Structure 1
Amino acid sequence: MTKAHILGFPRIGAQRELKFAQEAYWRGDVSAGTLQETGKELRACHWQQQAAAGLDMVTVGDFAWYDQVLNTLALLGALPERFGFDAKHLSLNDYFTAARGSTQHVAMEMTKWFDTNYHYLVPEWTNTTRFDGGIDWLFDELSEAQSAGYIAKVVLLGPLSLLYLGKAKQGLQHKLELLEKLLPAYQAVLQRLQAAGVAWVQIDEPILALDLEQEWLEAFVPVYTRLASQAPDILLATYFESVQERAALLHALPVAGVHIDLVRAPQQLPALLKDWPINRVLSAGLIDGRNIWRADLSSLLESVQVAHVSLGDRLWVSASCSLLHVPVDLASECLMDAEIKDWLAFAVQKMAEINALKKALDGDRQAIASQFDAADKAIRDRRLSSRIHNPLVQKRLAQTTAADAQRSHVFSQRIVQQQQRFQLPLFPTTSIGSFPQTMAIRQARAAYKRGELPHLEYLEAMRSEIRHVVDQQLALDIDVLVHGEPERNDMVEYFGEQLWGYGFTEYGWVQSYGSRCVKPPFIYGDVYRPEEMTVSWSCYAQSLTDRPMKGMLTGPVTMLQWSFVRDDQPRATTALQISLALRDEVGDLEKAGIGMIQIDEPAFREGLPLKRSQWAEYLDWAVHAFKLSSAGVQDQTQIHTHMCYSEFNDILPWIAAMDADVITIETSRSDMKLLDGFGDFAYPNQIGPGVYDIHSPRIPRVSEMQKLLQKARSVIPDRRLWVNPDCGLKTRDWPETIAALKHMVEAAKLLRASVAEDEHSECCQS
């Protein structure tokens, strides 16, 4: 019989129960015991849902209090030594300190999980890193599942991916040097799982989908030869891209099964089936674990029939990757348009689709005939719906030319006019966009959306907050202001709500990092802007001050990446449709007198394909999309963009090609190391490297910011260096924000004074 399983389930809860429990614990409102009880209830619920969906085993080890990579470090006893924690007696408070920082500790660096919008905490590897074993949370969770009567498959992040995804520090020459110390820790975990009666362990090695160096590839066979010797059956899981070129390696591995992603790379199945080892399981990732569209069950069944004939009960069916990346349950969506709702599937529904494919493969098609019929109808109705295509949008896009994506003059000419217009000091200070969103702001927005708050009262509530934000920035003496974005629920959802072609959910939350959850909109049709979206807010804010006020927009690539995107046309086409909508908004902001317009692209690198051979195609259309949205302005209008939590060095030519006048980037957690590439490349435009981490409650000292700015000066010329936080301040509270920004402004002023003094001394000496 075919087996059905999943690689992982969303951990946050259908109503974000984990988020609220985490934040209550951080505030001191609840005890660690209360938080742990919430986690236990969520795990029990998720296992019950997996069993009810007809899966053959539940997945244990996919739950994390903050991040699965951090969980792996805690399990192995390998948290960064600088924290000084007792690995075997790690408390929840210790765990969260590593993730979020404290007054004594800088948080671990955070970056994107491959090409998703999930952020993981980056391991810190040194010559003295230890793997002597840590806390037993995984084994406690296994005991919970077994006590409830479930057959449990345990999931672990693989040792090679764990090493690869970390950073070598303090003299460590190569991360693979740690392998001999790491493997005994994995062997000990696997032996304990075997002793506990676990039959299958899923070990995730997503780096197999990357362009790996030969030394990493050569490590796989010896590593898994050692691990498999005393362990449950190992299912090696790959995802996010094809591993077709690794077929010989995968065939040689001494594992009991391999999982492949047949959503991202359906073409790899024939190559991997050829000479597939006898008695080896193939887990087929048929259901999309990263998007919310209902599956075409009939087509998927047909696509996997050859594999079923070849493998029989050695074929398993699953989602392409962990369901961490999709919302929990479509049944919660009571207000959604019925026609569109019928096109969608969330995690719970995807498990039902997996089970339907299992039953169909096992010859029980009659039992799920109605499910297949409903899926066939939904696919057909979506394809034929009049909501999907807009001839006006398609015609306009077809008429765009390369000239539409070019500024009138090069940066060296534009900057002269911009300096004359804005008269900014050396090292101008600014923020990224959002300011703290208090409970009062959220309640006012929610009441307005429910129709309980009249429009004029809502308008005044938002304007009152904008006045407050502007007053605070003026009191801090910040040079370039923002309006704070109190009217915005989310940087993508806010714009999507005002664009045709976008759909929305009430409870479609997914985890971005820690307790940070986002509710991505979904793009189901051609995108069009019917009217202005931000102009009135920006104009009101600008009316309160003579200082420059940035207009704030979310860029086309980020609007694409942070939405669930339609799968019936190329992603590039959808991105360019968004670009044209944003181009109209940029033009209206400029006409209204807004002289600085920030078009944020934090997801620019996130969209980069995992295979380098596909980079150029993506980067070319992504750059074109940004420039199409931004290039229609006059030289004296300054275009900003913001990027965060990504490595940029290998794509700097394309970032430069975006031709933003000012780019702000996240650099504080990396101690400005992310900035090095910009210096080596001689990035030509202005840069604002973040001088403090907004994802941590910790308030850095002025001296720390000065130190970071001095490092930035070694890379970026003074006349092109801006001073700003790493990211928006939406998630922080006001006391933290004021204190941190006060230190930031003071650091910038001290640096200006230092430079002026140096210049004066040089002048006197000459």
Structure 2
Amino acid sequence: MREKFHASLEGNIRTLAFGLPRLGPNREYKRLLEAYWQGSLPREEFLQALEDLEGLRMATYREHVDLYPAGELSLYDPMLDLAVALGVYPVEPFDLEGYYALARGKGALPLRKWFGTNYHYLVPRLPEKPRYTPRRGFFPYPVGQKTPGSAEGLPTLLGPYTLLRLAQNPPERVEDHLEALVEAYAELLEPFAGTLFLLQEPALGLDGVERDLPHLLKAYAALAKRVPLVLLSYYLPPASEVVRSLANLPLRGLGVFPVGEALPKLPPGMALVLGVVEGQGVWRTHLLALGGILPLLEGQEVWLAPKAPLFHLPWRVDEPLPKALEGRLAFAVERLQELSLLKELLTDGQGPAGHLEAATSPSRAYQAARAWYTPPPAWELHPSPPPPPRPPLEVRRQA
């Protein structure tokens, strides 16, 4: 029975990661940007250094996971990249002065917290009339002079609904802008027909999505006709009605993190993007305790993924650590390792302990997963009760 189950997983499980920190292993991005702004780093050297950093990011993805985005390394802010790519602001491709004028100085766009996290984004202002003029030079490679044919990875953008909901002037009727935005996105996607495209829509977890749902479904269906569309929503759980409706679209993949309710069974040809490791928390994943995902895997194509973009984490854990933290922390690179190890664990014929029969001769993946996780010390699991509250000041004075 166990062998039959795992045989059904062969070829049906892949790994997908996104949001690897653009800061780099040693904060290279910050130093490059500051040097360019100060005038000590020439423009061409700046762009080449960013290309080198992007190459490192791509190599890191490639070492550990099957699927990953291309063009994530923004010149400054992904929301600004999107606004410029759609022609919201009249900045020509590689006009760095025009681009950075929107990010700093007197004419800078306002900053706002990104979905309640410690990250911020530049808040664009939508045009009064829904007219968009796409500029392909800012998508999908805002850095450097690459052509679509030279790329690896999945082209990716923030979705139109996220742009509309997070703008300075969100429209009362999203349908007034969605039709024009779909045409603009379609023009940007034209060189990528047949290429998996990653559309990130964290705004699908906001309140009020049900009101806009019919127009969103129409927009996503139109985009799915242009490219094999993988739709991701994260940070906030969308309403169950939203999830059920998205599952009926002609998508290539669907990921909703966190899952508010049980996901519906997806139709053949649509992969379930399953968030299994943290994208914001720093503790290692107890991979052998993930047997609860097994019912979701049988008879379905599944892509194992983080629950949020990895840019919330540092690049990787630096050794040595204090003894209390040894074997317990996982940053961005460690999350990639966890995805790779979990895939191997699920397809090696044994699976997580307690949910498939225990192995008499544990596989390499099983042993590695067991060694990966260090349980927290007893004092964390059973902390001492808090001290009783102090009496009011008046009572203490009378004592």
Q: Same fold (TM over 0.5)?
A: yes
Could you tell me which residue of structure 1 aligns to residue 5 of structure 2? none
Q: Is residue 95 of structure 1 aligned with residue 99 of structure 2?
A: yes
What are structure 1's unaligned runs of at least 5 residues?
Answer: 80-84, 409-766
Q: Would the aligned equivalents of 1:287 and 1:320 in 2 still touch at CA under 8 Å?
A: yes
Q: Is residue 374 of structure 1 aligned with residue 371 of structure 2?
A: yes
SS at match of 2:266: coil
Pick one of 271, 292, 307 that aligns with 2:282. Answer: 292
Q: Would the aligned equivalents of 1:168 and 1:174 in 2 still touch at CA under 8 Å?
A: no
- Looking at structure 1, the residues matched to 163 and 304 of structure 2 have their Cα atoms a distance apart, in angstroms, of 26
Could you tell me which residue of structure 1 aligns to residue 340 of structure 2? 355
Instruction: Tell me how many residue pairs correspond in the alignment.
Output: 369
- Looking at structure 2, the residues matched to 387 and 168 of structure 1 have their Cα atoms a distance apart, in angstroms, of 46
Could you tell me which residue of structure 1 aligns to residue 73 of structure 2? 63
Task: Classify 1:77/1:48 alpha carbon distance in 2 versus 1 (closer, same or farther; 3 Å).
Answer: same
Q: Is residue 253 of structure 1 aligned with residue 252 of structure 2?
A: no
Q: Is residue 19 of structure 1 aligned with residue 30 of structure 2?
A: yes
- Looking at structure 2, the residues matched to 341 and 124 of structure 1 have their Cα atoms a distance apart, in angstroms, of 47
Pick one of 267, 272, 297 that aligns with 2:263. Answer: 272
C-alpha deviation, 1:145, in angstroms: 8.9
Could you tell me which residue of structure 1 aligns to residue 124 of structure 2? 123
- Looking at structure 2, the residues matched to 339 and 145 of structure 1 have their Cα atoms a distance apart, in angstroms, of 47
Letter in 2 for 1:131: Y
Q: Is residue 306 of structure 1 aligned with residue 295 of structure 2?
A: yes
C-alpha deviation, 1:341, in angstroms: 3.0
SS at match of 1:345: coil
C-alpha deviation, 1:395, in angstroms: 2.8
SS at match of 1:136: helix
User: Aligned-pair RMSD on alpha carbons?
Assistant: 2.6
Letter in 1 for 2:366: A
Considering fraction of residues, name the structure with more helix. 1
Higher relative contact order (CA 8 A, sep 6+): 2
Task: Classify 1:89/1:257 alpha carbon distance in 2 versus 1 (closer, same or farther; 3 Å).
Answer: closer
- Looking at structure 2, the residues matched to 90 and 74 of structure 1 have their Cα atoms a distance apart, in angstroms, of 11
Q: Is residue 236 of structure 1 aligned with residue 228 of structure 2?
A: no
C-alpha deviation, 1:13, in angstroms: 0.5
Q: Percent of pairs identical after alignment? A: 26
Query: Bigger radius of gyration, 1 or 2?
Result: 1
Task: Classify 1:145/1:176 alpha carbon distance in 2 versus 1 (closer, same or farther; 3 Å).
Answer: closer
- Looking at structure 1, the residues matched to 140 and 286 of structure 2 have their Cα atoms a distance apart, in angstroms, of 38
- Looking at structure 2, the residues matched to 226 and 188 of structure 1 have their Cα atoms a distance apart, in angstroms, of 12
C-alpha deviation, 1:201, in angstroms: 0.8
Q: Would the aligned equivalents of 1:329 and 1:348 in 2 still touch at CA under 8 Å?
A: yes
- Looking at structure 1, the residues matched to 263 and 383 of structure 2 have their Cα atoms a distance apart, in angstroms, of 41
SS at match of 1:20: helix
Could you tell me which residue of structure 2 aligns to residue 177 of structure 1? 176
Could you tell me which residue of structure 1 aligns to residue 15 of structure 2? 4
- Looking at structure 1, the residues matched to 245 and 380 of structure 2 have their Cα atoms a distance apart, in angstroms, of 46
Task: Classify 1:289/1:24 alpha carbon distance in 2 versus 1 (closer, same or farther; 3 Å).
Answer: same
Task: Calculate the TM-score normalised by the size of structure 1.
Answer: 0.45
- Looking at structure 2, the residues matched to 188 and 127 of structure 1 have their Cα atoms a distance apart, in angstroms, of 21
Letter in 1 for 2:338: E
- Looking at structure 2, the residues matched to 68 and 27 of structure 1 have their Cα atoms a distance apart, in angstroms, of 22
Q: Would the aligned equivalents of 1:125 and 1:175 in 2 still touch at CA under 8 Å?
A: no
What are structure 2's unaligned runs of at least 5 residues?
Answer: 1-10, 351-362, 395-399
Q: Would the aligned equivalents of 1:60 and 1:154 in 2 still touch at CA under 8 Å?
A: yes
Q: Would the aligned equivalents of 2:247 and 2:254 in 1 still touch at CA under 8 Å?
A: no
Letter in 2 for 1:395: P
Task: Classify 1:206/1:369 alpha carbon distance in 2 versus 1 (closer, same or farther; 3 Å).
Answer: same
Q: How does 1:50-89 map to 2 (within 5 A)?
A: 50-53=61-64, 55-79=65-89, 85=90, 87-89=91-93
For 1:613-661, what per-residue CA distance to the aligned partner results, in whole angstroms no more than 9, with x for missing partners? Answer: xxxxxxxxxxxxxxxxxxxxxxxxxxxxxxxxxxxxxxxxxxxxxxxxx
Q: Would the aligned equivalents of 1:289 and 1:319 in 2 still touch at CA under 8 Å?
A: yes
C-alpha deviation, 1:14, in angstroms: 1.0
C-alpha deviation, 1:61, in angstroms: 2.7
Could you tell me which residue of structure 1 aligns to residue 206 of structure 2? 210
Could you tell me which residue of structure 2 aligns to residue 162 of structure 1? 163
Letter in 1 for 2:298: V
- Looking at structure 2, the residues matched to 374 and 255 of structure 1 have their Cα atoms a distance apart, in angstroms, of 38
- Looking at structure 2, the residues matched to 15 and 182 of structure 1 have their Cα atoms a distance apart, in angstroms, of 38
For 1:258-292, what per-residue CA distance to the aligned partner results, in whole angstroms no more than 9, with x for missing partners? Answer: 0122xx44x63xx213x432321100011000011
Pick one of 377, 395, 398 that aligns with 2:386. Answer: 395
For 1:7-33, what per-residue CA distance to the aligned partner results, in whole angstroms no more than 9, with x for missing partners? Answer: 221111111101001011111111121
For 1:308-336, what per-residue CA distance to the aligned partner results, in whole angstroms no more than 9, with x for missing partners? Answer: 1141xx11101011101101011xx2342
- Looking at structure 1, the residues matched to 229 and 198 of structure 2 have their Cα atoms a distance apart, in angstroms, of 6
- Looking at structure 2, the residues matched to 6 and 178 of structure 1 have their Cα atoms a distance apart, in angstroms, of 30
SS at match of 2:102: helix
Q: Would the aligned equivalents of 2:14 and 2:303 in 1 still touch at CA under 8 Å?
A: yes
For 1:525-577, what per-residue CA distance to the aligned partner results, in whole angstroms no more than 9, with x for missing partners? Answer: xxxxxxxxxxxxxxxxxxxxxxxxxxxxxxxxxxxxxxxxxxxxxxxxxxxxx
- Looking at structure 1, the residues matched to 364 and 150 of structure 2 have their Cα atoms a distance apart, in angstroms, of 31
Task: Classify 1:345/1:364 alpha carbon distance in 2 versus 1 (closer, same or farther; 3 Å).
Answer: farther
- Looking at structure 2, the residues matched to 132 and 118 of structure 1 have their Cα atoms a distance apart, in angstroms, of 28
C-alpha deviation, 1:126, in angstroms: 3.1
Could you tell me which residue of structure 1 aligns to residue 311 of structure 2? 324
C-alpha deviation, 1:88, in angstroms: 3.3
C-alpha deviation, 1:242, in angstroms: 2.2
- Looking at structure 2, the residues matched to 144 and 350 of structure 1 have their Cα atoms a distance apart, in angstroms, of 30
Pick one of 312, 319, 334 that aligns with 1:334. Answer: 319
C-alpha deviation, 1:139, in angstroms: 4.0
C-alpha deviation, 1:176, in angstroms: 4.1
Q: How does 1:42-53 map to 2 (within 5 A)?
A: 42-53=53-64
Letter in 2 for 1:60: A
- Looking at structure 1, the residues matched to 322 and 180 of structure 2 have their Cα atoms a distance apart, in angstroms, of 55
SS at match of 2:231: strand
SS at match of 2:112: strand
C-alpha deviation, 1:370, in angstroms: 2.8
Q: Would the aligned equivalents of 1:154 and 1:202 in 2 still touch at CA under 8 Å?
A: yes
Task: Calculate the TM-score normalised by the size of structure 2.
Answer: 0.85
Q: Would the aligned equivalents of 1:295 and 1:353 in 2 still touch at CA under 8 Å?
A: yes
SS at match of 1:272: coil
- Looking at structure 2, the residues matched to 325 and 207 of structure 1 have their Cα atoms a distance apart, in angstroms, of 18
Pick one of 33, 39, 44 that aligns with 1:33. Answer: 44
Q: Would the aligned equivalents of 2:21 and 2:314 in 1 still touch at CA under 8 Å?
A: yes
- Looking at structure 2, the residues matched to 310 and 360 of structure 1 have their Cα atoms a distance apart, in angstroms, of 18
C-alpha deviation, 1:113, in angstroms: 0.8
Q: How does 1:378-527 map to 2 (within 5 A)?
A: 378-379=374-375, 382-384=376-378, 386=379, 391=384, 394-396=385-387, 399-400=388-389
- Looking at structure 1, the residues matched to 29 and 118 of structure 2 have their Cα atoms a distance apart, in angstroms, of 19
Could you tell me which residue of structure 1 aligns to residue 216 of structure 2? 220
- Looking at structure 2, the residues matched to 101 and 290 of structure 1 have their Cα atoms a distance apart, in angstroms, of 31
Task: Classify 1:27/1:130 alpha carbon distance in 2 versus 1 (closer, same or farther; 3 Å).
Answer: farther
Could you tell me which residue of structure 2 aligns to residue 191 of structure 1? 190
C-alpha deviation, 1:299, in angstroms: 1.2
Q: Would the aligned equivalents of 1:126 and 1:168 in 2 still touch at CA under 8 Å?
A: no
Q: Is residue 114 of structure 1 aligned with residue 150 of structure 2?
A: no
Q: Would the aligned equivalents of 1:66 and 1:99 in 2 still touch at CA under 8 Å?
A: yes
- Looking at structure 2, the residues matched to 252 and 153 of structure 1 have their Cα atoms a distance apart, in angstroms, of 23
- Looking at structure 1, the residues matched to 147 and 319 of structure 2 have their Cα atoms a distance apart, in angstroms, of 33
Q: Is residue 344 of structure 1 aligned with residue 329 of structure 2?
A: yes
SS at match of 1:316: strand
